[in-house]
Amino acid sequence: MSSDERTDETDGGPAVRRLTDWDGDRLDELADEYGTPLYVFDPVRVRENCRRLRAAFPDAEIQYAAKAHTARETLRTVHDEGLAIECASAGEVRRALDAGVPGRDVTYTAVNPPARDLEVVVDAWRSNPELTITAGAANTVDRLEERGFDGRLRLRVNPGVGAGHHEKVVTGGHPKFGVGLDRAPALAARAADTFEFAGIHAHAGSGISGEDLADHRELVRRLGDLARDLEADGIPVETVDVGGGFGVPYREEAPALDLDAVAEATREALGEIDGRLAVEPGRYVVADAGVLLTRVNTVKEAPSTVVAGVDAGMTTLLRPAMYDAYHAVRNPDAIGQERDTVGVTIAGPVCETADLLCENRPLPRPERGDLLAVGNAGAYGYEMASTYNSRPRPAEVTLDGELLRRRETLADVSRFDRAKDSTPRRPEEEP
């Protein structure tokens, strides 16, 4: 780790934890004990990331976007570090409350909310009246009112500008999200009459790098202008929530995001406002706190590449298949061995060509039984895992060896099928 990756805040740790910083022997031990594929997660690193965020945004409300990693221990850790929780569904709201997070520190961001979500969240609000709901459409406001909600409501606006690591994660500016800036004042006035108006919100997208800072700044500037317009119309704006999206370096050689520069740009673009700034990072809090371990089961010399067949695939870590995302890969078993470097394609067990963790990556020549570590898997790794191909989801453990989520079994995968005994084979067999 180079000295420029360290911050002055020792309790905030280095600006980034690289894949090479993980102790290979410890990863080996965990893989032996729990099997593979296996997510390994370090809550200590989560604390460091929270502390650096707090140091960069000392006056802001920092809400952790729970969707990046919802394990109960993560929600507890980030809340213990002073972060609130931003939830994307009724399920996340329930998990945050179940983890002991008080309603005042829970925000539900409703995107085309299914009726069931609204019912569960409004019900939760009755016993947690300080909970905040962010609505991004006039109809969502109507539907909340119809259900008797008159609590804290934040308005999501469409800032007309967005950013992100891939077109599929750019939200700001997409018509799916938020109320147009032109229509926001009227809806805010209505919200201020009917609810406890808790401010305005927008989210540019996910995985914003230093290069996207201009878009982030423009989004913040537009929100600042809207806040001042609303104030001038006599509508106090408690919070200006500029969303999350802070990127992390997935490539080993990429620099860490300069969080202080992002914070400085945010404050400058926001200008003077009466309310409080809020940010909603997810990835930044958990990405480098997790690695994925997978074992090589098959090695094949193809004409163009060496294919390493592994036991993790797109059902374990979806990001490469879905976004062509790059994740660093390390072969700790090859360290200290004389292996030549070859172009390696790491392929999972799913019968889809997209089921590749990387293609033709220069790596030590793989051997059957090697353990591979995949970096920056803490954010949107386990969370996007699926049981496609009837493949059980992996286990997740902490670096200390505590089980966060147990490995699913084949029985888990088929548990929603109708029980064999009660499935009539022919109509006349029905009781």
- Give me 201's structure tokens: 């919100």
The pairing of beta strand 395-398 with beta strand 403-405: antiparallel
Active site (annotated) includes residue 358:
no
Answer yes or no whether residue 321 interacts with ligand LLP by CB under 6 A.
no
Binding test (CB under 6 A) with ligand LLP, winner from 37, 43, 185, 243? 243
Answer yes or no whether residue 178 interacts with ligand LLP by CB under 6 A.
no
Give the nearer residue to ligand LLP in terms of CB position, either 97 or 242: 242
Place of tokens 């989801």: 393
Give the nearer residue to ligand LLP in terms of CB position, either 227 or 371: 227
Residues between 37 and 66 that touch ligand LLP (CB under 6 A): 65
Answer yes or no whether residue 245 interacts with ligand LLP by CB under 6 A.
yes
Instruction: With contacts defined by CB under 6 A, name the span among 19-27, 139-147, 277-285, 306-314 that binds ligand LLP.
Output: 277-285
Among residues 50, 87, 351, 358, the one annotated as catalytic is 351
Answer yes or no whether residue 206 interacts with ligand LLP by CB under 6 A.
yes
Answer yes or no whether residue 281 interacts with ligand LLP by CB under 6 A.
yes
Contact predicate 95/123, CB 8 Å:
no
Binding test (CB under 6 A) with ligand LLP, winner from 215, 280, 333, 396? 280
In degrees, to the nearest 5, what angle opens at C-alpha 320 toward C-alphas 75 and 208? 60
- H-state helical runs in 24-71: 24-34, 43-56
Instruction: Build a one-symbol-per-residue string for 117-156: x at contacts with ligand LLP by CB under 6 A, - elsewhere.
Output: ----------------------------------------
Residues between 372 and 391 that touch ligand LLP (CB under 6 A): 380
CB of 286 to ligand LLP, least distance (A): 8
- Closest Cα partner for 198 from 128, 108, 266, 96? 108
Give 111-135 as a DSSP string.
SS--HHHHHHHHHHHHH-TT-EEEE
Instruction: With contacts defined by CB under 6 A, name the span among 11-19, 25-33, 200-208, 303-311 that binds ligand LLP.
Output: 200-208
Give the nearer residue to ligand LLP in terms of CB position, either 244 or 249: 244
CB of 415 to ligand LLP, least distance (A): 26
Contact predicate 366/343, CB 8 Å:
no
Is the previous residue joined to 113 through a cis bond, with omega within 30 degrees of 0?
A: no
Give CA–CA dist 117/339, Å, rounded: 53
Q: Is 82 left (phi over 0), alpha (psi -120 to 50) or beta?
A: left
- Give me 242's structure tokens: 């500029």
- Give me 150's structure tokens: 């008159």
CB of 335 to ligand LLP, least distance (A): 29
- Tell the burial category of 323 from Cβ atoms under 10 Å away from its Cβ (0-12, 13-18, 19+): middle
Binding test (CB under 6 A) with ligand LLP, winner from 13, 207, 313, 394? 207
CB of 16 to ligand LLP, least distance (A): 15
Q: Which helix (H) or strand (E) holds 157?
A: strand 152-158
Contact predicate 231/306, CB 8 Å:
no
Catalytic center residues: 351
Site residues (vs ligand LLP, CB under 6 A): 65, 68, 86, 109, 169, 171, 203, 206-207, 243-246, 280-284, 319, 323, 380
